[in-house]
Amino acid sequence: MTPKTIIVPTDLGEGTEATLDYAVEISRAFGARLHLLHVVGIPVLGMPEMGIAYSDTMMDGMMADDLHALEHMIEARRGEADFDRPLIRSGDPRDAINETAKELHADLIVMATHGRRGVARVLLGSVTEMVVRTAPCPVLTMKSPEPTDVTPSAG
């Protein structure tokens, strides 16, 4: 089955641009429609155990900023692919990605993986890994580029 509806979930972090560009290439090859998705995760919504709580005004501001970032990414690729409006959801990213895929009858999810290891993986879990295991459609994962070391060397 060729994909006609592709979802590109993003945390707006490292690897976002490369993942989106790859999804654009796939969408062009198959004539698929792209849906760029960002999920404001549960930790952002407030973690009482860490003394963090966000007001509705702060949440609205963050979501507006994130929507603007998605719109900017789409505008930079206008004409390269058939984009639908960007999507912002809140909650557990794993659940939100899968629910959105079901709602849109997605044929493919294209997402980055950060390759976290050790404590970071235990604390943050792997959104991509869980989506791969539970998604209602195939998932194409792309490894995020290695961070560049910009520390000047002593010389």
CATH number for the domain that contains residue 109: 3.40.50.620
Tell whether 32 is covered by a domain. Answer: yes
pLDDT at 142 over 70: yes
Tell whether 125 is covered by a domain. Answer: yes
pLDDT at 149 over 50: no
What does pTM read for this prediction?
0.80
Q: How many domains does the chain divide into?
A: 1
pLDDT of residue 128: 86
Tell whether 24 is covered by a domain. Answer: yes
- Supply angle C-alpha 88, 21, 18, rounded to 5: 85
pLDDT of residue 155: 47
Query: 1 versus 4: which is more confidently predicted?
Result: 4
pLDDT at 46 over 50: no
Tell whether 107 is covered by a domain. Answer: yes
pLDDT at 154 over 60: no
Which residue shows structure tokens 């520390």? 151
Average pLDDT over the chain, rounded to an integer: 82
Question: In the predicted model, what is the mean pLDDT of residues 142-152?
Answer: 59
Tell whether 113 is covered by a domain. Answer: yes
Tell whether 152 is covered by a domain. Answer: no
Domain that holds residue 115: 5-143
Tell whether 148 is covered by a domain. Answer: no
pLDDT at 123 over 50: no
Tell whether 51 is covered by a domain. Answer: yes
- Supply angle C-alpha 62, 66, 71, rounded to 5: 145
145 phi/psi in degrees, rounded to 5: -65, 150
Please list the residues that pair with 78 across neighbouring strands.
81
Task: Name the token pair of 96.
Answer: 């939100």
